[in-house]
Structure 1
């Protein structure tokens, strides 16, 4: 399994876990749906990479950048590090790892 696959799946799992935690703590159905939805899409991108489809990697990068932008906006509004700051840092790490993998493939 490549570095890009691991990054996409790990970030997807983190998004799902974050959505579930957001739902249990704040009863936020939006957190649950958004976290699980984006998490599943990131994991799907990782699975597509395993199958040799390079566009799965590009899709995962786009989803990760979308999440980073979303969480930056949320961090600026709430001024609370958790969970936004964690997801931003994890997102940058995931994008860096997937970008490195994409560079190798191209």
Structure 2
């Protein structure tokens, strides 16, 4: 299994778990809904990549980039590491893996 598939799966699962924790701690419905949608899109993209579909990598990279921007803005606003800082760092790592895979596919 390629590293980009694992990265998308793990980031998707962590995103869903984070949305559930946000809902439990702050009764935030928007956290639960948005995290579930983004997490499920990442998992769906990973399974598409697992089936050999290159568009899965594009979908995963777009969702990851959107999450990265959202969490980076939240980190700048709140200055709290949890959850914004952690998700920003994980998003950067995930996106770096995906960009590396894009480059490998272009060769």
State TM-score, norm by structure 1.
0.96
Number of equivalences: 106
TM-score normalized by the length of structure 2: 0.96
1:48-92 per-position Cα deviation (integer Å, ceiling 9, x unaligned): 101111111011011101000000111122121110000000001
**Greater than 6 Å deviation, 4+ residue runs:** none
Q: What corresponds to 2:95 in structure 1?
A: 95
Confirm or deny that 1:20 pairs with 2:20.
yes
Q: Which segments of 5 or more consecutive residues in structure 2 lack a partner in the other structure?
A: none
Provide the alpha-carbon RMSD of the alignment: 0.8
Q: Which residue of 1 aligns with 2:46?
A: 46
What is aligned with 1:77? 77
Q: Distance in 2 between matches of 1:101 and 1:6?
A: 12
For residues 48 and 89 of structure 1, the distance between their equivalents in structure 2, rounded to whole angstroms, comes to: 25
5+ residue gaps, structure 1, are none
